[in-house]
Amino acid sequence: MSEMIAQEAVLSEREGGLVRTGHDESMKEAHKILEEYGLPLGLLPLADVSEIGFVRSTGFFWVTQPKRVEHYFKKISKLVGYGTEITGYIEHNSIKKLTGVSAKLLLWLAVNEITIDLSSPEKIQFKGLGGSISRTFPVEAFVSGE
């Protein structure tokens, strides 16, 4: 576990945040957080989560897993990789400063931001490389169980 995550875990517990361990408990909590913040539940199709943490006061979250996971989203024909540590800041309808997630275009590119535009809530946008590369897809491609 990175030092940043360890520090946030202490902060989380001190500020009434949460830390969950084990796959089932972690995924249940991840889905509650995604739903609360207006994001599709299928954004994290992970198989063996070790821990999830969330600091509500800052929106910082982390997910750890023992090995990298790749998931193919059939409805958009895209392969997405999830590293052993995923971190970011969640806000209503968006995740910013995202780390640990990459999408296969021609090369693997880091995904740094995920946003649902309220003027077009049926679409979700993924940004990488400081926002210079972005792709928009239907939200329905990321529903749980896709």
For residue 54, what is the domain's CATH number? 2.30.240
What total number of domains does the chain contain?
Answer: 1
- Split at pLDDT 50, 70, 90, the class of 65 is very high
- Among 2-11, 18-27, 94-103, 122-131, the minimum mean pLDDT is found in 2-11
Residue 73 to residue 69: CA distance in whole angstroms: 13
Residue 5 to residue 11: CA distance in whole angstroms: 10
> Which of the 8 DSSP states describes residue 62?
E
Chain position carrying tokens 């309808």: 93
- Maximum C-alpha span of the chain: 43
Contacts of 49 (CB under 8 A, 6+ apart): 22, 23, 26, 27, 30, 63, 64, 65
Flag whether pLDDT at 18 surpasses 90.
Answer: no
> pLDDT (tens digit, 9 = 90+) per residue, 78-135?
999 999 999 999 999 999 999 999 999 878 899 999 999 888 899 999 999 777 789 9
pLDDT at 105: 80
For residue 32, what are its two tokens?
């509650």
Residue 140 to residue 146: CA distance in whole angstroms: 8
The pTM of this model reads 0.87
Element (H, E) at 82: strand 78-91
Q: Residue 118: give the domain boundaries.
A: 3-142
Mean pLDDT of the chain: 88
Flag whether pLDDT at 145 surpasses 80.
Answer: no
Please name which of 97, 120, 124 lies closest in space to residue 40, comparing C-alpha atoms: 124
